[in-house]
Amino acid sequence: MQSEQLPFYIGRYHATARLGSGGMGVVYLATDERLNRQVAIKKLLRNPNSSNADERIRREALLLAQLNHSNIVQLYDVVDTDNGIALVMEYVDGCSLDRWQRERSPDLIQKLQLIKQICSGLTRAHSAGIIHRDLKAENILVDNSGTIKITDFGIAKNWQEDSGLTREQHVAGSWGAMSPEQAQGKPLDNRSDLFSLGVLAYRLLCGQSPFGDNSSPYVVADRIVKQPHVPPARLAPELPPQLCQLLDLLLAKKPEQRPINAAAVATELEALLSQLRGSNTSFTRTHSLTATISADTFYQHPMEKPSLWRRLQIATGIVVGGALGAAALFAGSSMNWLPAAEKRVQNQYIAVLEVEDNHEDESISREQRLLLNNVHNALKQGLSNREGLSLISFAESHKLHGQPIAAQAKSLNADLLLVPTLDCIRHSCELSIELLDSKSLAVIGNRSTRLALDEGLESRARTLHQLNNLLPDFPSSGADQALHISAEDYQRYLEIYERRADELRQPELLDEMDALQQTANNFAPLYELYAHIVIDRDLNSRAAEAVERLQSFLQRAPASLENTPQLLISKLRLAIHANDPGRAEALLARLELILPDKASYYQLSAMYQDQRGHYDQALQEINKALQLRTSYGYLIQKALAETRGGDMTSANQTLREAIALNSDHIAAVSLLASNQLDLGETGETVRLLTEAGVDSIGPLDLYNLCLAYYIEKQYGEARGCFDRVNQLSPKDAEAYLYQAEIAYELKEHKAALNFARRALRVSRDRDDWEGLLMQARAYAELGQPEKAVENLIKIRRDAPDDLYTNYLRAQVYITTGDLLSAKAHMRKTLEHGISPIWYYTPRFAKICTIPSFDDLRQQYPGLCGGKGKKKKEGNSQLALNGTQE
């Protein structure tokens, strides 16, 4: 359809010149006569072959309306008249990027500044969930001041939405700029735009397309999907090696091998700009004079490609195996690629052992401990995004601290070990970092540097520098290594990190982090530490404040951290803890896209399924992680899923596998002791936990020890044990309720009532299912059966139908005198695998003489102290009651 005769009006806008045209319409220069300013108007052309053109331009308007940013063309108005729809947008007095490059001779710094601006605009769009899908030089405008504006969001979409607006073309976008996954019609996320950014930046910096300028779009698309790009150093040898490496990462075939987001790319560019500004090096040519080949020549000599590609693999740590399918199907204007199977590429796993100090613990000063934590954090961040490496969770390696290196290596099952050591004298320390082969423990490499005790950020920078020198074959993938925190605030963070395990001071630490967030809200590790402390406190003390407090803290995080693993994992932990499955599943979907190590994703997914009570799914997920890496930590998580799912035989076998990897670690002992407790082998529980040492076991182990003493009728030991639980977790209502049980059995009725009142007082403000269950038990103890049963009714939909919940329900009903309901819940727990010894208490003594319980006593003779049959293995974890992470 022809455009209208100039000049003409669209609403109050007076169109006077034609600026350009595209597939959807024409862009005119116009004047807004009300505001007396120039605007650009995109006028939709009526296309009889497109049934959804109106909807698409409306969608473009809706997307643009969300993006108010200096590097994105701004939408002013939408005019809908009888003659069609028009978008009124900011007029950019300049030209497209390709024309800007042709008409000028920009130097390297100017080019990098423009690319950084494009990253800034993309960061804003991606933070709103919007991907451009047609990012190319023609859609980048440069005004007379050198500011870029991203335009033409005609085929943009929110990647989290399922939209059919572009399906009539099958593949939307420009063939020369689209990513491999876009060319194949696969699902897209923000990293598709990063590939297009790589093509655009490559052309700007090297003067040619990375895939040549063949006239056939099918040839170019075939190269994008199946073949490596021309190494940028071949076309522009003068480019800095770091810049060539960044281009290689942007043009990686697989999205997961590209930088995590545009903000990370911008950070790398800023680092390069800082180096260039501080040097005398210049790079002013648009086309290299020393290039050895042209892009198309590269593709015309296939014999050269294998050796070139191998060198590229070594430089970037990327290994591409197998070839994509050669067949392409053509249907009208669409093209669908049929990829063959790609060879799976598995990163090497690296674990960092806890930083050691060569002095005895007693001689380590506070400043030295802070430096230990500084090195710990620097190594964690420096290893989190390296090509070819997957970092094993520090939480997993930290649990093995103090064990021989050989034992830690066996438990972690890593390929590489990083062993840092500090040797301190007065005001400085010598940091030595050794890289070991995990199987042979042979030293592959080592680096050392001197660190000052009072230079937090400087010591961190030197640690990262030595790490980079130690791992030249595993370069950083462009992740932001900047801290975004002042030296003073970083010191405050290290001091909080040092005290993170101090359970008695955790409320104070959380308050300090709330204050620190006001001046260091861009510091991603702060959110990870906050989530760890607040949830750990909630689980140990049952304070029931984690959800509200963590939610408030995370809501204050800036948009720049939206897609960082630290923030997403913290949000996932909150969603799991708050029992918000929809939110948790959405976060898992995002983490699946950005986590470099799939085993870590499967572990998080298993944790989520476990907390939901979906033990079969949890087992499937953790088995996927174990297929990638058999580790002690993963085996413990598998045993927990098997135990909770009712297969204690398999759980015990899995625990034996874990103990074979590490016989000294407490986790396997802890779970074994818990299983023995549920099986009624309380003496064995006491033996296992007391041999491990009361001071070394965790809060849940201490709780299990208290319960074992209680079942064994060792009331003195049980009381002392529960007193310690009360000191560590003053808001734990259940500990008070067992104190009440003990007092009741000792005929101390007044004391029993006092303990029940305390339990009610600390749980009264809770409205979650476990809090309501604690209240029900307290009401029953206080002789208020109506309130007790009312609470049980409230939780019937939310509380899991597991051993723990049914045992507590049985306690409530037997106390209130509802014997029929008590019997029903007792039967459930016995069928799930609880030992009859749990009912051999004065509270349940009445069942031994009531005829209606005859059938239950015959089936389970141990109920009333009889010998009974050997207890069959079954569902367990009464003591863990869903709080294990």
DSSP for 667-726 reads: HHHHHHHHHHHHTT-HHHHHHHHHHH-TTTS-HHHHHHHHHHHHHTT-HHHHHHHHHHHH
Cα separation, 725 vs 706, in Å, equals 9
**Contacting residues for 447 by C-beta, under 8 A, at least 6 apart:** 432, 433, 466, 467, 469, 470
Beta 334-337 vs 84-90: how paired, if at all?
Answer: unpaired
SS3 of residue 660 by DSSP: helix
Q: Which of 615, 605, 614, 661 is nearest to 639 (CA)?
A: 615
Cα separation, 95 vs 144, in Å, equals 8
**Contacting residues for 274 by C-beta, under 8 A, at least 6 apart:** none
- What is the total residue count of the chain? 885
Contact 156, 131 (CB under 8 A): yes
Angle at 278 between CA 277 and CA 284, to 5 degrees: 40
Structure tokens at 676: 């023995």
Contact 232, 205 (CB under 8 A): yes
SS3 of residue 71 by DSSP: coil
Cα separation, 198 vs 247, in Å, equals 6
Is 43 annotated as ligand-binding?
A: yes
Structure tokens at 177: 């700029």
Cβ neighbours around 578 below 10 Å, total: 16
C-alpha distances out from residue 732 to 542, 544, 739, 871, Å: 5, 10, 12, 31
Q: How far is CA 425 from the centre of its chain?
A: 39
Q: Which amino acid, one-letter code, is at 621?
A: E
Burial class (CB in 10 A: 0-12, 13-18, 19+), 326: exposed
Cβ neighbours around 367 below 10 Å, total: 14
Q: Which amino acid, one-letter code, is at 47?
A: N
Burial class (CB in 10 A: 0-12, 13-18, 19+), 207: middle
Beta strands in 247-316 (DSSP E): none
Burial class (CB in 10 A: 0-12, 13-18, 19+), 514: middle
**Contacting residues for 115 by C-beta, under 8 A, at least 6 apart:** 197, 200, 201, 204, 269
Q: Which amino acid, one-letter code, is at 265?
A: V
**Contacting residues for 599 by C-beta, under 8 A, at least 6 apart:** 390, 624, 625, 628, 629, 634
**Contacting residues for 678 by C-beta, under 8 A, at least 6 apart:** 803, 833, 834, 835, 876, 877, 878, 879
Q: How far is CA 518 from the centre of its chain?
A: 23
SS3 content of the chain, % helix, strand, coil (to 5): 55, 10, 35
List, in sequence order, every residue forming a beta bridge with 149; answer none if it has no partner: 141
SS3 of residue 258 by DSSP: coil
Q: Which amino acid, one-letter code, is at 527?
A: Y
Phi and psi torsions of 510, nearest 5°: -65, -40
C-alpha distances out from residue 674 to 606, 664, 713, Å: 21, 17, 18
Residues annotated within the binding site for ATP are 43
Annotated binding site: 43
